[in-house]
Chains A and B, each alone.
Chain A
Amino acid sequence: EIVLTQSPGTLSLSPGERATLSCRASQSVSSSYLAWYQQKPGQAPRLLIYGASSRATGIPDRFSGSGSGTDFTLTISRLEPEDFAVYYCQQYGSSTGYTFGQGTKLEIK
């Protein structure tokens, strides 16, 4: 079973700063099968990135994804007040299904 480990657990930054969130897989994951989500309190998750680097419909270009193999990154270039939330990575594997990471909370410093 593939385990996704996200770091840091909590990231404290100020609006306007750059955020870098990490997702590490316990074994190699196809880039085609890696997604990122944003979740705000009381809301359902929102798809941000699929295929490791493709932005979903309507997602601002300050959000970008990168990585391959076991190491993936979500970058938010200039934080807006509405970006403070919890972020999850997710991978698909034919034998393991759709595993989520444990999440990174992005909070205002």
Chain B
Amino acid sequence: QITLKESGPTLVKPTQTLTLTCTFSGFSLSTSGVGVGWIRQPPGKALEWLALIYWDDDKRYSPSLKSRLTITKDTSKNQVVLTMTNMDPVDTATYYCAHSILGGYYYGMDVWGQGTTVTVSS
């Protein structure tokens, strides 16, 4: 059974850096095709994909946020970490991590964490 859980601060101040951790179980991030992604959702708004890291350490970022994002993995700890710099109140959102498989086919983000709410305010 695959599970993922997000953790991190619930409140950050403007200009600070946000660090979120996704801790997962039931799969290995060293298995070919496997990836873990981050997605966020501001209150009452649509989903926004942020970043994804693959089993081979290939990384993809949202073009509009690329300069502020860094995604890394620790395979031994079964964790993926997302950092977002220069936080602003518009970054207030629920942040999700999700499991994904990509090969010659995209199998979607099939298992999601419960999400963690981050508020940006002074």
Contacts and interface: CB of A to CB of B under 8 A. Distances in A.
Binding partners A and B: yes
Interface of A: 1, 32-35, 37, 39, 44-47, 49-51, 56-57, 88, 90, 92, 96-103
Given A35-B108, A88-B47, A101-B46, 4 more contacts: A35-B109, A44-B96, A47-B109, A51-B107
B106 A100 contact: no
Interface in B3-54: 37, 39, 46-49, 52
Q: What 8 pairs across the A-B complex have the smallest Cβ distances?
A: A50-B108, A44-B112, A35-B108, A98-B49, A33-B106, A47-B108, A92-B106, A100-B47
A45 B62 contact: no
A32 B106 contact: yes
B61 interface: yes
Contacts of A57: 110
B82 to A, nearest CB: 14
Interface string B94-122: 00100000101111111011110000000
